[in-house]
Structures are given as structure tokens and as C-alpha cells.
Structure 1
Amino acid sequence: MAEGERSVLLVLHDVAPETWADYQPFVEAVDALGNVPMTWLVVPDFHKRNPLARDRQFQQLLTKRLARGDELALHGYYHCDDSPPPRTPKDYFMRRVFTWEGEFYTLDHAQALARLHAGIELFQRLGWPLHGFVAPAWLMSQGTRQALGELPLRYTSDAQHLYRLPDFTAIQAPGIVWSARSAWRRGMSKIVSDHLQHKYQTAPTLRLGVHPVDMRHEFSRRYWLQTLMRLMENGRTPMTKIHWLQTTRLALRSAA
């Protein structure tokens, strides 16, 4: 990436066969804008209901997205918290108030490693390149972090950073997400998102983290499409996460 160039990273969370109906109109609208690569966060067996390994049609769709220049990343394995019930007030808040989907929040090293290996094996079996892992709700236990340091992955992330693996080198990559399950949440999300766009208007990159629930409401779906268009009109280049990391590393080397 040239010095001073700014980017926008469009990231689709919770990608699974059952969420494609939510995403399809939005993806088609983005495709109509031209060459806008996206990062798809793929869940191998969303809530243990519909394994991707059994859905040949959706596999083919994602393979075609790769051919268009999109990126597929691993997003948990089940995307649901199936660990024993929380025992402390902090755990209760994180696992029942903040989210019910913090799959990797409590896993020990062996548990996290097993699920990561299973996800990696699925990508390998389908012939999909895999560079990144994103934990559901960005929640990772110490055991998960340890496991990620042992695997041939390039990055992970939280709400405001990307981390190069295996050493977890932090890179500022601010993100915007919505809470869209009710009208008042959508209204508040717009206010917060507008503020964050202004705050990070000069940041080298800005991540737009969209979710299936955002796509179920015209207000939020239109917001994401218009925001993407505006950021591109203001000079931000759309990229996938791995492309941005690669170009950022090249820029750092050139400046050294």
C-alpha cells in the first residue's frame, strides 16, 4: 500500500448456509458497485444445525467468491457457547449479557486446538486458502491464544485490532459494528457509527463488520451500503483483511 493510501475492509460475519438468504441482496448490491473484495467469516457448523460440509451448493458459492477475489476466514466452529454454565458474575455478564455466542471464551488449550484443527481441515478438504481466524464476538481464552500461536495462520482480530500470528503483534484497525435487533438499538448504532467514522476518518484502514441481523432491516442494510459507497468515494480502497495485512507489511519494509 502506498504511503498515505487509505482502505476499507468489508467483513461479513456469521457466514453459513442459513444466513445466506439474509446476505444475498446486500452482496448483490455490493457486487453491482464494481470490484469490491470482501472477507467472509465462515462458520463450519453454525449453532450445530447445518454443517457446511454437507451443503454442496453453498460450498460452490463460496468457491466462486474466492475466484472473484474475496477472502474466506474461519469464524469459530459452532458459533455458540456450549461450555458449562458460567460460575462467576464476570463470566455471566460476558456469556449471557454481552453475548451468548462466545464459543472460544472459556475453552482450554486442548479444546481450542481441536476446534481450530477441525476448521482448518474443512478448509483444506474444500481447497480453500485460509489465512485468518476470528473468534465469535472476538472473545478468546488464553488457551485459544496459545493454540493460535501453534498453527499456520497469519492473523486474528478483535474489535479494534488485527494481530499478526504467531506472536500476536497488534496493528490498529478500527472497526464499526451495529447492534440491530431492535429499532432503538439500530438508531443508537447509527449515532455511534457516524461518530466513529468521523473519529477515524484519517485512519489507514477502517473495518465495516456487518452481521446477518443487519441485513434483515432496510434501515441498517441501507446504512452499510451507503457507508461503503461514501468511504470509497472519499478515497478508501476496498480490500480483504489478508490483502491489507500483506500490503501493510510491504509498506513497512519499504519505509525501513
Structure 2
Amino acid sequence: MNHKKVALVFGGTRGIGASIAARLASEGYRVAITWVSRPDRAQALMTTIEQQGGQAFALEADSADAKAIQAAVDKTLQQYGRLDVAVVNAGVLRLGTIEDYSLEDLDATLAVNVRGVFLAIQAAVKQMADGGRVITIGSNTAVRTGHAGSSVYAMSKAAVASMVQNLALDLAPRRITINNIQPGPIATDMTAGIAEQIVGSIPLQRMGQPDEIASLAAWLAGASSGYMTGASLTIDGGFVL
């Protein structure tokens, strides 16, 4: 039996999620990643991980679909036989002011960013070894004022922070820790077109890098973080607006 630890990264094919998956693989985890719209990126990431000596496989799973979330956990167990770390990175960003925000966008945001996060955690911890790790990827908008049109997104991320704080109590008897990373502006393809507008609001005068978020996630996944649970860790260069 292969005793190497296993990590499942929901939303692991680009940006922060891909960096986390690659980092965990480099530290010896066997990694499963979910994708919803870019199988080519999932395949490219798997190839990179395998070329570097790691193990990875990808599976399609829409985080708005409860059955798909459960299937992702089940397939990870079938593939690797265990689950030690769950990283819930999947999310959607739909912006708009309250005058124009549609019910469709509201429902879609809550379905993935809140309901999907809860369901992913629920499905994962039922199969997770005692002493496991759950890591959610929230946003600094949960604690910082963003900009007009971001209220629903910010609300969803604040809900995740509160969820994590309280789920820590549910999971503590099994020594499963759960923590929430709240990134600020990160240099990914999603922010490429607006980076110059954002940098002025960051005291460190630069965008964060996906690898910096991955480093924090890797620490939270490891043994050294065993006394931290229920925390939301904001990593945003001191972002102000």
C-alpha cells in the first residue's frame, strides 16, 4: 500500500489552485485536482507534476453540483485509497452594483462560493483520516473594503471565514484542522488587465504571487500548523482602499 499523503484541490487547474497543487506535489503529496471548463489546463498541470516526479490526476467537477463534488471525493479515494488534505479553491467572481445585480448572478455566486465550499468540506471530512487538514481559499474582501460592485462576492467570502471558524469546533475531536487563506490581489491571468489599477492600493506596491499563497497553504497542510484551526489568514500586502 502507498502511504504517501493525498491532497484534493477543488479548482486546481489555474492561478492559485494550480500553484497549490504543484507545491503540494513537490512536497510529496499525491494530488487530485478538479476542473470545470479547461481540461487542457488540467492536463498540462498533471504533465508538469509528473515530469517533476510527482503523482497527479484530474477530474471534472462543477462546484455548483453537489453530486459532482461527492464524485470528486469518491474518485480520489478510488485512485489513491486515502484523503489527508482538502483545499477548497473553486470560486466564481460576478461583479455588479445592487441596482443591477441579477438573481442569476446572486444564486451562482452563493452556489459555488458558499454552498459548494460547505459541500466540499462535508464530503471530504467524511473520508479524511483523523489529523487531516482542510484549507479554504477566501478573499481579503471579507475584511477589507473592495470597490463598488463587489458586495455579493465579499459577502460570500465573509461567509466562508465564519464557516471555517465554526467548523473548527466540529472537526476538533478528530484533530482535523480547518483554516482559511484570504488573498488580496494576486498576479494571475484573471488580474492581468487591471494590475496597474490595483497596485496603488497595495502598500508593498506589488501584486502577490500565486507561489506565496501556495507556500502558506503548504504550511497549513503540514505538521507544523497542528495547533492552528478556525483561523482566517489575510495575505494581501496590506491592501487598503
Query: What TM-score results when the alignment is normalised by the length of structure 2?
Result: 0.39
Q: Which has the higher contact order (CA 8 A, sep 6+)?
A: 1
